[in-house]
Structure 1
Amino acid sequence: MISLTRTWAVMAKEFVQLTRDRLTYAMILAMPIVQLLLFGYAINDDPRNLPTAVLVQDQGGFSRSVLTALDNSGYFEVTRVARSTAELDRALERGEAQFAVIIPADFTRRVVRGEGAQILVEADASDPSATSGAVAALLQLPQQALARELAGPLATRASGPPPFEVVVHRRYNPEAITAYNIVPGLLGVILSMTLVMMTSLGMARERERGTMESLLATPVLPIEVMVGKLTPYVLVGLVQAVLILVLARVLFAAPMSGGWLALGAGLMLFIVGSLALGFLISTLAKTQLQAMQMSVFYMLPSILLSGFMFPFRGMPDWAQWLGLAIPVTHVLRVVRGSVLKGVGLENAGPSLLALLLFVLVVGTLAMLRYRTTLD
């Protein structure tokens, strides 16, 4: 016979055990709240106010009207007035601008004479979802930008064909192939997922089996333990990186534009930093279950706020600041910049510095935590 009393006793014991495991209890409450906030406030598939660099070679009133119409569309925000096309190229390569607009010197004259005026818009199409809405808004620009200016003697221009044409060049991914953006981005996500989890679980497993006590009894310095334990995983991470890049090229024909020095430096820093983070988690977790929970809790914002699944610039400012604190964001920029744009060390400098800072901070915290455990 089933006894409700015994069943209730087991149930009460389980509730007591759950409240004693404070980390698990906190994760149960925190995970749905974090997911609700991120998906509700931070995720946006239609980014607006995209940074735009302009090169205005025509100083007429029509040029100012076009720039005003761009700003009023809500998709473009002029953040830089360039002096040369080379400056526009650098802004696109570094990711400082999503669009580059060039208004030629004869723009006003051609509009007045009806000689087929054009403006050139270059879009960073490495992430097609980040530019699709803005490119669609450009199609309405010729009909709306000069509606007020084409009056009086120029009224015939407004009633006829569009007064000018917008020529859009999609750079880095002109065919808008999503795999070119997703597959290289998987490199950072897979490395983060596997390396952080493997290291944290491995160390927690040693603590549960008692082998960590033997290691603590030896005169081994924290830095020696970290280097000795993490070096094999560095090789594992490098093998994973090479395998993913090869498969991206063979299976998906992803372009390999160069920038190998920046790519190698970024991946090495990210691998070391991810392993150091796993080491740090292992010093905080008492069991493998806790290590797994903490690793998953780290992965959730890494996937959602890094620009891997959703456009980074589509998020509100506070979410972008959080995303900049996540190392996956910076390694994605290095990998995509190298693979799709051929970005070198100079243009990848800010992301590499962020990854280096991540390695130093997390590595230092891990060693301090391990030293505390020794004491």
Structure 2
Amino acid sequence: MNWQRLLAIIRKEFIHIRRDPPSLGMVFIMPVVMLLLFGYAVNTDVNHIPLAVLDRDQSQASRQLVAALVNSGYYDLVGQAGSDGELKSLLDSGRVQAGLVIPAGYSRDLKRQEMATAQFLVDGSDPLVARTALAMAELIARYNSQEMRLVVLGKEGRALPAGPGVDLRARAWYNPGLESLKFNIPGLIGLVMQNITIMLTAFALVRERERGTLEQLMVTPIKGPELMLGKLIPYIVVAFIDMGLALGIGTLWFKVPITGSLLLLLGLTLLFLVFALGLGMFFSTVARTQLQAMQMSMLFILPSVLLSGFMFPRASMPRPIQYLGNLLPLTYFLDILRGIMLKGIGVNYLWRDVVALAGFGTGIIALAALRFRKRVE
């Protein structure tokens, strides 16, 4: 082995690495970012479940039941409902994932040494959260029932009767069987559509540049926006065909129903596809090689898997990580998919997600068009 030639090759490779700052930066930034995100986001512990309460009794005993749930750390009281319709609206919109209904006469039944009943509702569209919410609510009610009866009966000097004092009747909405498949399939559809569309367009301009055909297009009378739209529209058609295939497999093979409007679902999917395709186009205007385009795509896709609620409940993540998840359009698209497919809700509950997707799509398309025009000029 000739050590001089070997050292020359090593020196040449270091020069190539130094002349590629984007790739070098991602090599060092990606492990740091991924470890931080995985460390905070990969958490299967379920806590801080948003809870709404409909208290028709308004007594010390009913407030003690609510306090027992909140003090456990598993539930966060985020609202008081004034009616059954308001509680249903909170669950439909996703603002809360659990609801406690305490009927009138709850405290009276405790005083009479009768079984006091309460109803606990949970959003079953996320089985992981729903199972924990149901199990912990029943456990907390059972182990705190004696204490609640003691507070009421102690004032009257009567002995505490044996046996549980609260019958908490739990019920899961939207996915009564708590089937993980019904939660996972809509999420997979969203994730697959994002990954495919970003990858499709991320290589579009880079491939043209590497083959030398982009320069040929630049000398033609075609304008930058025309060239950009001409490249995007075919991919939109392809992405919609993929969406149809994904929905077909999800509904026909995996038996996950679309309980809401199919037309609404397809229309809102278009908003998400515009963003994903625009982001891929933006990556293609920044990257110099297909390898760089791939690295940029993966740097965006991996956090989307972790922070969007696709795998892990967002309510259990630290607040700063939740804010990062709010910057990912997939977070809102998953709410739309699960809301329409599992809950059957409409735009009146999804308008925040629609506005967010429209804003992300408009912004990334404008940014990609600006960079693309500079490239063409």
Confirm or deny that 1:112 pairs with 2:114.
no
How far apart are the structure 1 equivalents of 2:158 and 2:72?
24
Verify the 8 A CA contact 2:122 2:133 in the aligned structure 1: no
**Paired residue for 2:277?**
275
Q: Deviations over 1:279-311 (max 9, x none)?
A: 111110111111111111110111111000111
Which residue does 2:144 correspond to in 1?
144
1:259 match: 261
Letter in 1 for 2:130: T
Residue pair 1:45, 1:130 contacting (<8 A) in 2 also: no
Q: Post-superposition shift, 1:20?
A: 1.4
Partner of 2:290: 288
Deviations 1:341-366 (A, max 9, x none): 00111111110111100111000001
Q: Does 1:338 align with 2:340?
A: yes
- Separation in 2, partners of 1:154, 1:99: 36
Q: In the alignment, is the contact (CA less than 8 A) between 1:65 and 1:145 conserved in 2?
A: no
Q: How many residues align?
A: 373
The 3-state SS of whatever aligns with 1:126 is coil
Q: TM-score, normalised by structure 1?
A: 0.96
What does the per-residue CA deviation read over 1:54-112, in whole Å, with 9 as the maximum and x for residues that have no partner? 11100211001111111101011111111111111111111000111100012111122
Q: Pick closer, same or farther for the CA change 1:6–1:347 going to 2, 3 Å.
A: same
Q: CA deviation at 1:151?
A: 4.8
Equivalents in 1 of 2:169, 2:158: separation in Å? 24
The runs of 5 or more residues in structure 2 that have no matched partner are none
Q: Are the aligned partners of 2:118 and 2:167 in contact in 1 as well (CA < 8 Å)? A: yes
The answer to whether the 8 Å contact 2:124/2:178 transfers is: yes
What's the offset of the Cα at 1:220? Answer: 2.5
For residues 61 and 152 of structure 2, what CA distance do their matches in structure 1 show? 9
Aligned in 2, Cα 1:275/1:141: closer, same or farther, shift over 3 Å?
same
Contact 1:120 1:166 in 2 (8 A): yes
Partner of 2:33: 34
Shift of 1:317: 1.0
Distance 2:153 2:106 in 1: 18
Amino acid at match of 1:290: Q
- 8 Å CA contact 2:122, 2:173 repeated in 1: yes
User: In structure 2, what is the Cα distance between the partners aligned to 1:223 and 1:146?
Assistant: 71
User: Using the alignment, how far apart are the partners of 2:345 and 2:9 within structure 1?
Assistant: 60
Note if contact 2:106-2:116 (Cα within 8 Å) is conserved in structure 1: yes
Query: Is 1:25 paired with 2:27?
Result: no
Q: Which residue of 2 aligns with 1:307?
A: 309
- Given that 1:262 and 1:348 are in contact with CA atoms closer than 8 Å, whether structure 2 keeps it comes out as no
Question: How far is the alpha carbon of 1:156 from its aligned partner?
Answer: 4.3
Task: Tell me the amino acid that sits aligned with residue 362 of structure 1.
Answer: I
- Residue 130 of structure 1 and its aligned partner are, at CA, apart by 2.1
Superposed CA deviations along residues 242-291 of structure 1, whole A, max 9, x for unmatched, are 11111112222112211324312221001111111111111101111111
Whether the aligned pair in 2 keeps the contact of 1:306 and 1:328 (CA below 8 Å) is yes
Partner of residue 316, structure 1: 318
SS at match of 2:288: coil
Partner Cα distance (2:3, 2:329) in 1: 51
Partner of 2:82: 83
Instruction: For residue 151 of structure 2, give the secondary structure of its aligned residue in structure 1.
Output: coil
AA aligned to 1:291 is A
Taking the aligned partners of 2:63 and 2:251, their CA distance within structure 1 comes to 44
2:188 matched to which residue of 1?
A: 186
**Same amino acid, percent of matched pairs:** 38
User: In angstroms, what is the RMSD of aligned CA positions?
Assistant: 1.5
Structure 1 CA distance for aligned equivalents of residues 347 and 70 of structure 2:
33
CA contact (8 A) 1:191 1:240 kept: yes
2:66 matched to 1:58? no
Aligned equivalents of 2:189 and 2:128: distance in 1? 19
Structure 2 counterpart of 1:21, which letter? Answer: D
Which shows bigger deviation, 112-121 or 66-75?
112-121
* Preserved contact between residue 61 and residue 152 of structure 2 (Cα < 8 Å): no
Partner in structure 1 of residue 299 of structure 2: 297
In 2, Cα distance between equivalents of 1:114 and 1:249: 50
Q: Is the 8 A contact 2:225 2:373 kept in 1?
A: no
Amino acid at match of 1:144: N
Distance 1:15 1:111, change over 3 A: same
Q: 1:319 and 1:66 mapped to 2: Cα distance?
A: 31
Q: How does 1:347-358 map to 2 (within 5 A)?
A: 347-358=349-360
Matched residue, 1:97: 96
- Tell me the CA shift for residue 167 of structure 1: 1.0
Q: Is the 8 A contact 1:46 1:130 kept in 2?
A: no
**Structure 2 match to 1:211:** 213
What residue number does 2:131 align with? 132
Structure 1 position 226, deviation (Å): 2.0
CA contact under 8 A between 2:190 and 2:334: conserved in structure 1?
Answer: yes
